[in-house]
Amino acid sequence: MAEKISAEFGRMRVTPKKNESVGPKYTKEGGELLVQERRPATKDDMSRYDQVTRLLVNWFRISNNIEGKIVNEYEIDLFEVRSPPPRRGRGGGPPRAGRPIEKAIKSKEKLIQVFWFFIRSVDFDRRTGVIFDDFQTFWTCERHLFNREYDVPHPTKSGLKYRAKIRHLTSYPLTFSGQGPEDYEEVNRTHKFMKCLLTQRARYVSGDGEDDVQRRYANKFAVDRLNIYYIPREKGDPKIEVAPGVNAWLGLYFAIRQMQNNDLAVNLGLINGLFYDLYDTLRRSRSEKLGILDYCLEIQSNASPEELKDLKESLRKGEYGIGEGGRSKILKLIRNMRVCYETCIRNPRSNKWDVVERHGIIVDIAKQTPKSYFFTTKKTTMDAVFLHVYPTLPCLILKQSKKSEDLHHAPLCKVTINETAQKFLNSMDTNMKIKFIQGATRDPHIHHQMTKDMMNMMEFDTTKSINFLDAFKVDISTKMVECQGKVLKAPNLVNGKGKAIEILPERTFREKVFEQLVFIFLKLLNEKKIAVPGKSLTFAVIVINKENGEPCVVPDSAEVFFHKLEFAMKDRGMTLADPALHIFYPAVNCFNQGDGRPHFSDVIQEITASFRGNPKHENKELIFIVMVPKAEYARAEYYGYIKKRVRPPIRFHPAPKKMQLFYQVALKLNAKLDGINQEIDFSEEQEMSPEEKEKRKKLPRRMFVGVDVTHPTQDSGIDISIASIVGSINLGGTKYRNSVLAQMKPKETVEVFHYQFSELITEFKKNMGDLPEHVIVFRDGISDSEMVRTATIELSHFKKQLIALLGRDALLPKFTYIVVQKRHTTRFYEIDEEMEKTDENPMQLKNVKSGTIVDEMVVSRMNFDFMLASHHGALVDIYELCYNLCFLSARVRKPISLPAPVHYAHIVCEKAKNIYKYLRRKYPSEMLTATFIEEQLKQHKNYPGMHFV
What DSSP line would sit under 675-710, residue for residue? ----EESS-TTS---HHHHHHHHTS--EEEEEEEEE
Whether the pLDDT of residue 193 is over 90: the answer is yes
Q: How would you classify the pairing of strands 774-780 and 814-821?
A: parallel
Residues 6+ apart with CB under 8 A from 901: 704, 705, 706, 726, 727, 728, 733, 736, 778, 885
The pLDDT, as a whole number, for residue 651 is 41
The pLDDT, as a whole number, for residue 653 is 43
Residue type present at position 9: F
pLDDT averaged over every residue in the chain:
77
Average pLDDT for residues 92-111, to the nearest whole number? 79
The pLDDT, as a whole number, for residue 647 is 36
What DSSP line would sit under 267-308, residue for residue? EEEEEEEEEE-HHHHH---TTPEEEHHHHHHHHH----HHHH
10 Å Cβ neighbour count for 623? Answer: 20
pLDDT band at 652 (very low <50, low <70, confident <90, very high): very low
The pLDDT, as a whole number, for residue 131 is 94
Average pLDDT for residues 256-281, to the nearest whole number? 86
Residues 6+ apart with CB under 8 A from 45: 876
Give the residue with greater pLDDT, 878 vs 474: 474
Q: How far apart are CA 558 and CA 585, in angstroms?
A: 10
Residue 486: strand pairing partners? 52, 853
Lowest mean pLDDT across 26-40, 140-154, 529-543, 825-839: 26-40
412-427: pLDDT as tens digits: 677 765 556 788 877 7
pLDDT band at 197 (very low <50, low <70, confident <90, very high): very high
Residue 228: strand pairing partners? 223, 252
Phi, psi of 333 (to 5 degrees): -80, -35
The pLDDT, as a whole number, for residue 431 is 79
Whether the pLDDT of residue 606 is over 90: the answer is no
Average pLDDT for residues 722-739, to the nearest whole number? 88
16-75: pLDDT as tens digits: 444 443 333 433 444 444 545 555 565 667 788 888 999 999 999 998 889 999 999 999
The pLDDT, as a whole number, for residue 115 is 93
User: How much is the CA Rg of the chain, to the nearest whole Å?
Assistant: 32
Helix (H, G, I), strand (E, B) or coil at 476: strand
pLDDT band at 733 (very low <50, low <70, confident <90, very high): confident
Q: How far apart are CA 434 and CA 303, in angstroms?
A: 26
Most distant pair of Cα atoms in the chain: their distance: 116
Q: How far apart are CA 362 and CA 281, in angstroms?
A: 21
57 CB-side CA count, 13 A: 27
Q: How far apart are CA 862 and CA 864, in angstroms?
A: 7
pLDDT band at 654 (very low <50, low <70, confident <90, very high): very low
Whether the pLDDT of residue 527 is over 50: the answer is no
What is the pTM for the complete model shown?
0.80
Q: How far apart are CA 618 and CA 631, in angstroms?
A: 36
Q: How far apart are CA 213 and CA 933, in angstroms?
A: 59
Q: If you count them, how many residues does the chain have? A: 949
Phi, psi of 455 (to 5 degrees): -60, -45
Whether the pLDDT of residue 848 is over 70: the answer is yes
Residues 6+ apart with CB under 8 A from 516: 495, 496, 497, 675, 676, 677, 679, 683, 685
Of all residues in the chain, the percent with pLDDT exceeding 90 is 14
Residue 239 near residue 232, CB atoms below 8 Å: yes
Lowest mean pLDDT across 312-326, 342-356, 376-390, 419-433: 376-390
Helix (H, G, I), strand (E, B) or coil at 327: helix
Phi, psi of 268 (to 5 degrees): -105, 105
Whether the pLDDT of residue 655 is over 60: the answer is no
Average pLDDT for residues 926-949, to the nearest whole number? 80
Q: How far apart are CA 246 and CA 707, in angstroms?
A: 36
501-521: pLDDT as tens digits: 777 777 776 555 443 333 222
Give the residue with greater pLDDT, 702 vs 656: 702
Whether the pLDDT of residue 228 is over 80: the answer is yes
The pLDDT, as a whole number, for residue 492 is 81
The pLDDT, as a whole number, for residue 534 is 59
Average pLDDT for residues 186-197, to the nearest whole number? 91
Identify which of 182, 217, 188, 183 has the alpha carbon closest to the alpha carbon of residue 202: 217
Lowest mean pLDDT across 438-442, 532-536, 617-621: 532-536
Q: Which helix (H) or strand (E) holds 43?
A: none
pLDDT band at 522 (very low <50, low <70, confident <90, very high): very low
Helix (H, G, I), strand (E, B) or coil at 885: helix
CA distances from 426 to 36, 338, 363, 634 (A): 42, 13, 11, 21
pLDDT band at 745 (very low <50, low <70, confident <90, very high): confident
Q: Is 733 left (phi over 0), alpha (psi -120 to 50) or beta?
A: left
Q: How far apart are CA 138 and CA 67, in angstroms?
A: 19
What DSSP line would sit under 185-233, residue for residue? HHHHHHHHHHHHHHHHHHHPPPPTTS-HHHHHHHTTEEEETTEEEE---
10 Å Cβ neighbour count for 246? Answer: 23
Average pLDDT for residues 652-658, to the nearest whole number? 50
Q: How far apart are CA 670 and CA 137, in angstroms?
A: 56
Of 458-462, 676-680, 707-711, which one has max mean pLDDT? 707-711
The pLDDT, as a whole number, for residue 19 is 40
Torsion of CA 876, 877, 880, 882, to 10 degrees: -100
Average pLDDT for residues 603-629, to the nearest whole number? 82
Contacts 24+ apart (CB under 8 A), 186-191: 187/785, 188/785, 189/73, 190/256, 191/255, 191/256
Torsion of CA 570, 571, 573, 578, to 10 degrees: 10
